[in-house]
């Protein structure tokens, strides 16, 4: 059991730096606009006695420049929520809003543009093509939108440099270490310069040392590339380094610390 309240790790300097970065998004009135919002968002699987309510009337808002973590037990719906935010799945009811526009109002082409250009997604398993080079993997989202191959590979090389893998540009993805492969996956998620980064257990397959290094990188990119980031994670130590931590359990999303805790985090 995780206790109701947890002691934050000593990352005060990192948090102050992140908050300072977020202030750069503030309007002249000192307020930041929401990038992504949900209203009465529900996702139900099955029907009748087999019906499973994964998300029940979830409402939350993430402001420009925020980095938030969503924690909860396995099977609580964290991945489902991220898929809905990325328009990779559709809700049973309710709405996801991106910059005040409901995704339900998007036609097929604008919705595809939203997935490709506005959202970067990092998965727990990197899903790289092992026989393609690191640069070719990173270039895939650009190639899918019709960018010339030379231009796509040039942009991919620049993004690989941002994640510390400039020397691995021409190496096959299958020859890279686990930590390096996840860095390539992060570069791929950001090559289209999205404003929203969604990450589903991005350090879940890594050992502690590599998990810390990848999370440090994500925080740095969040700041320098002026992202708004939402991470689903089991790692409470990393979650508490974000601006806010939300807990998802039994279909409800609440600020962390207002519940009695949850079981089976790891």
CATH number of 12-255: 3.40.50.300
pLDDT digits (tens, 9 = 90+) for 149-197: 999 999 999 999 999 999 999 999 999 998 999 999 999 999 999 999 9
If you count them, how many residues does the chain have? 266
Q: Which of 136-140, 205-209, 246-250 has the lowest mean pLDDT?
A: 205-209
pLDDT score at 79: 94
pLDDT score at 17: 42
Residue 89 region, left (φ>0) first, then alpha (ψ -120 to 50), else beta?
A: beta
Q: Report the C-alpha gap between 24 and 126 in whole angstroms.
A: 31
Residue 120's H or E segment, with its range, is strand 119-122
Please answer whether residues 41 and 84 qualify as being in contact, where contact means their C-beta atoms are separated by less than 8 angstroms: yes
For the entire predicted model, the pTM comes to 0.82
Backbone angles phi, psi at 35, to 5 degrees: -90, -45
pLDDT digits (tens, 9 = 90+) for 201-210: 998 888 888 8
Arithmetic mean of pLDDT, 40-66: 90
Q: What is the DSSP string of 145-157?
A: TT--HHHHHHHHH
Q: Report the C-alpha gap between 156 and 184 in whole angstroms.
A: 10
Please answer whether residues 93 and 42 qualify as being in contact, where contact means their C-beta atoms are separated by less than 8 angstroms: yes
Please answer whether residues 139 and 155 qualify as being in contact, where contact means their C-beta atoms are separated by less than 8 angstroms: yes
- Nearest Cα neighbor of 22 from 9, 32, 14 is 32
Q: Report the C-alpha gap between 124 and 74 in whole angstroms.
A: 13
- Indicate if the pLDDT at residue 266 is higher than 60: no
């Amino acid at each position: 059991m995780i206790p109701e309240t947890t002691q934050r790790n000593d990352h005060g300097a990192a948090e102050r730096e992140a908050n300072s970065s977020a202030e750069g998004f503030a309007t002249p009135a000192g307020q930041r606009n929401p990038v992504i919002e949900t209203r009465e968002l529900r996702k139900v699987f099955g029907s009748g006695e087999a019906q499973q309510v994964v998300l029940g009337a979830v409402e939350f808002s993430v402001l420009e420049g925020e980095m938030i973590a969503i924690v909860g037990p396995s099977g609580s719906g964290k991945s489902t929520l991220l898929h809905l935010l990325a328009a990779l799945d559709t809700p049973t009811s309710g709405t996801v809003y991106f910059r005040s526009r409901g995704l339900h109002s998007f036609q097929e082409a604008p919705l595809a543009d939203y997935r490709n250009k506005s959202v970067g997604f990092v998965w727990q398993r990197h899903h790289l093509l092992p026989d393609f080079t690191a640069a070719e993997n990173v270039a895939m989202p650009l190639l899918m939108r019709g960018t010339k191959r030379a231009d796509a590979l040039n942009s991919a090389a620049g993004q690989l440099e941002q994640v510390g893998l400039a020397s691995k540009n021409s190496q096959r993805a299958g020859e890279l270490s686990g930590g390096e492969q996840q860095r390539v996956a992060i570069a791929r998620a950001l090559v289209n310069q999205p404003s929203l980064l969604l990450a589903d257990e991005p350090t879940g397959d890594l050992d502690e040392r590599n998990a810390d290094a990848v999370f440090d990188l994500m925080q740095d990119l969040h700041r320098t590339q002026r992202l708004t980031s939402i991470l689903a994670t089991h790692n409470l130590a990393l979650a508490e380094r974000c601006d806010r931590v939300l807990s998802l359990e039994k279909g409800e999303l609440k600020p962390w610390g207002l519940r009695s805790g949850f079981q089976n985090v790891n």
